[in-house]
Each structure stands twice: as C-alpha cells, then as structure tokens.
Amino acid sequence: MPRTPQPYQPVVEDDYGRRSFLKSTVAMLGGAAFAHTLGSLNSKLLAGDEIDTHPAKEAYPTGKKDETVKTGEFFFPRLKFHVKDRRMDIWDVGPSGDTILRRKLMELTNINASPEPVVVELSDLDKMSKYPYVFMTSESEFELDPKDADNLREFLLRGGFVHADDCCHPTTKGQIHKSDIGENFEYKVREGSKTGIDGDRFFMDYIRMINKLFPDNPMRRIPDNHEIYRCYFNYPKGCPIMQGVDHGAWGLFEKGTGRLMTVVTPGDLHCGWMSRYWAPEKNLDGIKMGINVLMYYLTH
C-alpha cells in the first residue's frame, strides 16, 4: 500500500539562530546508542584503566591543515586568547589533558570524538561557530579587545558553550583554599599580591568579563544540587577541586530557560585530566567532572 505523503513542515529558526542545529548534536554524535553509552560509561571509568602521561611542557598544536568540520564528529577545541602575564601558563598549557579527555570519550562512549587538536580564536567568529563547544584555561589575568568580546557574546547567544577552567597559580599549587567571595561575585585584590589577584586570577577575570558582556544577567554560583553535578556522575557536594581556591563552579544562566550558557570551574580540573599530579582516584574526579560538563552540553 503506498504511503500517505506527510505535509511539508519547514524548519523554523528560533531566537538564537543556531539553537535548532545545536539541539541535534546528540543525535548526530551518538544516535540511538547514546543512551546506552550513558549507562555504561560509569562502570568502565571506575575500572581504573591506565592513563598515559606526557612531559610537563608541550607545544600546543595549532590545528590540522584541513579545516573542514566532518559531519558527525565531536571536536574539543582550545580557545586562544590574550593573556597579560606571559610568564605564567597561558592559553596553550597542557595539551595532553585535552588529548586524554578526547581519547576517553572515544574509548568509553559511542560519541564520535575526533582525536585531532583544534585551536579557535575569537577574532574568527565564523570558524569558532563551527565548533559550538570550546575549552579555555590559563593561570593568569587576561583581557579581550572590544571586537573579540563582542564575538564571544555573539557566540554564546547563538548557542555556543564555553567551559573555562582556572589553571592554578603557582602560589596555590598543591593547596586548596576556602573561598571568600560568598554567593555574590566580588573582584578580590589579595593582600600582598603585586599583580592584583592571586591564586584564582583566571577565574576572577572570566566572571568579571562575562558580567560585563551580560550586565543584566550576571554569573552565579551553580547550586550543589544542579543537574550538571548529576547528569551522569554524581557530585552531591558540588564541583570537585584539584587545587586552588574553592569557589565552586559558576555559570551564566540563560534567561527564560535556565540553561547554562558557559561554566567556569576554579579548581584546575584540567590538571586532573593530565593524570600526573595526584592519586588516580583524584585525577579520575577531574576527568569525570569534565565529562559531566560535556554531557550537560550535549543534552541541552
């Protein structure tokens, strides 16, 4: 029996332009098997398989020659941005952490994660928009010129997502300090610091920058019972911290939906991904939280 033709239903763009495309990311990357992936990832990670380590100082690859984005691949790009104090670890620190997280996604999930390193820059919004999930990190303060700041705001409004992670400043490496900013952000000048803030420089500057871009919707501390802490792995006490100042994770919540548009973690999760500084259980905590952020993005 011939099938009855279905009426034509045009695809309608929503208020944020690319949001409809971004919502299809899960199906494109994992298809029907994605739900099964979420059910099996926990047991495989907890098996404690060995993770390779790499030299402490590495040159971050600047990307592959073929800049074409292959359909169905999930990329984990690193954001290049201007850091004020180049004596510190800057935007390209620790590429092995990115490599390990990408490899774990390929090994332990049905997500088709590309192993290729990719670098994006705010000055090229068209290229950056091809990679709607972006990671950035540094030890030091940073600043954006007006065009780059406008591009970052546009990227987030289009449905792009940035996971920012504070690479711990040398004075707090190996230590965990209690936060002193409470539930409301306040830019802190640490007593005795010659450069302004100390221990959480990148974290402070990231929140300050996002608040400037969205003055009517400032970043807030993500509550410990938020779904980002239980969308796959369970963190009833909130964001784990490897080292640094324990401010908890903060996010920009989209008005009307409550969706997290960007997240900044203060506790050097990226060093945990590198799997070379702490016991395997603690490193695994950093990897698991990184996967939670990814899973939150892919399901929202």
- 220-266 pLDDT, tens digit per residue, is 999 999 999 999 889 999 999 999 999 999 999 999 999 999 999 99
Number of independent structural domains in the chain: 1
Residues 51 and 45: their CA atoms lie apart, in Å, by: 11
In a domain, 146, yes or no: yes
Domain extent for 280: 19-47+72-298
Q: What is the pLDDT of residue 251?
A: 98
Q: Assess whether pLDDT exceeds 80 at residue 23.
A: no
Provide the token pair at 277. Answer: 């500084």
Q: Is residue 62 part of a domain?
A: no
DSSP codes joined into one string, the chain: -PPPPPPP------TTSSHHHHHTHHHHHHTTHHHHHHHHHHHHHHT--------SS-PPP---S--PPPTT-B--PEEE--BS-TTS--TT--HHHHHHHHHHHHHHSS--B--S--EEETT-HHHHTT--EEEEEESS-B---HHHHHHHHHHHHTT-EEEEEE---GGGTT-EEE--STTS------TT-SSS--S-HHHHHHHHHHHHHSTTS--EEPPTTSGGGTSSS--TT-S--SSEEE---EEEEPTTT--EEEEEESS-HHHHHHT-SS-HHHHHHHHHHHHHHHHHHHT-
- Is 66 within a domain? no
What is residue 193's predicted lDDT score, i.e. its pLDDT?
Answer: 72
CATH of the domain at 190: 3.40.50.12140
Residue 90 in any domain: the answer is yes
pLDDT of residue 74: 87
> Once rounded to an integer, what is the mean pLDDT over residues 110-135?
91
Question: What does the mean pLDDT of the chain come to?
Answer: 80
Specify the pLDDT at position 66: 55
* Residue 63 confidence (pLDDT) above 70: no
Q: Is residue 132 part of a domain?
A: yes
pLDDT at 49 over 80: no
What pairs with residue 251 in β-bridges? 220, 263
* Cβ partners under 8 Å of residue 26, min gap 6: 34, 298, 299
Query: Is 65 domain-assigned?
Result: no
